[in-house]
Structure 1
């Protein structure tokens, strides 16, 4: 548990201290932080502090639906532009992502029925996959105009690939671990 807490804090520092925008561009930096929060920091925090996880736990399917709404809303051009162009918007966006991630992971890890927890993580994996694929396959930069910058389709595609490469497998592996736990308990 201590290692998970140290890892969560180290990951937070790694997400916000380096100048990711300068290295990767604005959209890949946004996506790296987004996925780092929901698929890295949130589950590590829930594993490190299980008491907090139990207190924070909400029904996992409710958490998954709320997380879906938060993630998709912040990827609409207007809200994404608000977050990119204002410090207050960026902080609000990042806090919303972290809260959503904490809700999903605490709900999944403390679900009365572990298969329901697995289902919530699997549902989240599916919508992360869909959003990542839409970002990769979009015919143009969805955010350049509203953010007042030059179009950067390759940056958007890299951001979508990061979503696919981080979010999809982390949530899927979490779902499979919970499902395997049920199978082990039933065969024991």
Structure 2
């Protein structure tokens, strides 16, 4: 097999060798170390260092641990990977940033982040991303940056009612994507046509599981982040 056809996280593992599949890419480790140093220095200036550190650990889990390799085998693991980035890592990194200054651009952030998420799931583009390290990282960075922007607008700058509406719209678009994946009558991704069988799943069941992961856990996390703006909106209404 040509190197260009091998996903960044490597060939699909079988259950027996998953825990040996740590990603020790020197460029990735250097980038994560640089991000850690910059982030902790930033946090030491009065920001939120522990929140940042939690988000950074999420990046290590996503890209260094065997979870990365599992995404080459299972579409459901890829879905869980996206949920981790979108509704765990991105909001934690956003909370570690200073409050937004200037006019709110929540609508633009919602549109861009939603577009990137849907782009990741276009079958032809998905296949290309698994065959090209450059495209893979362009899409991963676009996903992370877009959702850090979205959550920063929502959690650090937008008024409570606007934040609540944006979170609801974000959860809605993810739910729609999850429904497409869960209810599709056949598998959509050729890259996962064989590997799920070693994990006891048919390709269609793997895809349906991925859709459910984007539907239920992601909805719960969106709801968790909606609690603070919901309380703020109630206080505004009472006032």
Q: TM-score interval w.r.t. the shorter chain?
A: 0.7 to 0.9
Distance 1:112 1:139, change over 3 A: closer
Aligned match of 1:30 in 66, 78, 82? 78
TM-score normalized by the length of structure 2: 0.69
- 1:41, distance to aligned residue in structure 2 (A): 0.7
Per-residue CA deviations over 1:94-136 (Å, capped at 9, x if unaligned) read 1111011111101112344221111111100011111112111
Give the distance between the partners of 1:17 and 1:158, measured in 2 at CA.
Answer: 23
CA contact (8 A) 1:58 1:106 kept: no
Give the distance between the partners of 2:87 and 2:192, measured in 1 at CA.
Answer: 29
- 1:21, distance to aligned residue in structure 2 (A): 5.9
Aligned match of 2:133 in 75, 82, 87? 87
Which structure's CA Rg is the greater one?
2
Alignment of 1:2 onto 2:81? no
TM-score normalized by the length of structure 1: 0.86
Aligned match of 2:223 in 154, 172, 179? 172
Equivalent residue pairs, number: 184
Pairwise CA RMSD: 2.3
SS of 1:18's partner is coil
Structure number with higher helix proportion: 1
Give the distance between the partners of 2:192 and 2:218, measured in 1 at CA.
Answer: 28
Matches within 5 A, 1:1-188: 1-20=48-67, 23=70, 25-49=73-97, 51=98, 54=100, 59-144=105-190, 147=191, 149-150=193-194, 152-187=203-238
Per-residue CA deviations over 1:67-101 (Å, capped at 9, x if unaligned) read 11111122111111111222112111111110111
CA contact (8 A) 2:95 2:156 kept: no
For structure 2, the 5+ residue unaligned runs are: 1-47, 195-201
